[in-house]
Structure 1
């Protein structure tokens, strides 16, 4: 009996602190989503991005195919994009979540599934920004212990141009 109690206590101490309240979970995931995409599209900090993705990160894209099969290769692709965006006349992109499309479901003992739509904007250099596309996404977020939410899997699909 003592060993069962000890095992239960240890399991509780290592359980992921995934919010059980739907509103809190949604707010947490939306904040992680915003931080990730702001960093990815509008800043250049590979070290910060590496803290936001799981080591076994995978991304699949309906136009680009298999984008990454691990976190390191994804960070390397991001760093290459950063270098290209540093030119004054480079194309720059921004992503905006369509908030009313956002759905978040818990994955007990692991994290959460996020699903929704987003819009993409582009501008050349410091030129005017324009809406250029819309897509759907499904993302799997992981929460280990007291650490941050980390993006583990991404499915990016239904990309279409916006006129």
Structure 2
């Protein structure tokens, strides 16, 4: 014996199954808000980095990092503190190059009870000429603690020439 399901009932059932639940929509809204927050923070931390030849801007840049930040750089090595990271920034970056996120590359993932992970691509431009010759990928772990966002881990890797990309 064959049972036939009316096509209207079948389509309605499939439509309900495929529709996002209100919980899914709420999660998407929260993720959109988190993404916007992290995108703004990424912009702000690197706005200060890009102006770090000014000691006040270097101090502003430092404020985004946890004192015990770990920074892993595939060509420069590892630093284990904010002060060590800032010394490298002072020595090698300030006044020499700027950083910008590759448009459309930023991805943000929530870490419940902690903060967020941000991943993307960034390019580096010579401060003197504005020529953007370097590309790399990044991952940053942001912690939200008592209303304050701080970066606890940074990975900057896959450094390569931007020629032809």
TM-score range with shorter-chain normalisation?
Answer: 0.7 to 0.9
The aligned residue for residue 137 of structure 1 is: 138
Alpha-carbon deviation of 1:131?
A: 1.5
Compute the TM-score of the two structures, normalised by the length of structure 1.
Answer: 0.73
The aligned residue for residue 37 of structure 1 is: 46
Residue correspondences, number: 132
CA 1:116 to 1:81, structure 2 compared with 1: closer, same or farther past 3 Å? same
- The 8 Å contact of residues 119 and 139 in structure 2, kept in 1 or not, is answered as yes
Compute the TM-score of the two structures, normalised by the length of structure 2.
Answer: 0.72
- The 8 Å contact of residues 48 and 58 in structure 2, kept in 1 or not, is answered as no
Pick from 70, 73, 78: which aligns with 1:61?
A: 73
Cα-Cα RMSD: 1.9
Tell me whether 1:109 sits opposite 2:120 in the alignment.
no
Of the two structures, which has the highest relative contact order with CA contacts closer than 8 Å and spacing of 6 or more?
1
The aligned residue for residue 89 of structure 2 is: 78
Bigger radius of gyration among the two: 2
Unaligned runs of 5+ in 1: 1-19, 86-91
- The 8 Å contact of residues 42 and 93 in structure 1, kept in 2 or not, is answered as no
3-state DSSP class of the match of 2:104? helix
CA 1:52 to 1:94, structure 2 compared with 1: closer, same or farther past 3 Å? same
3-state DSSP class of the match of 1:63? coil
Unaligned runs of 5+ in 2: 1-28
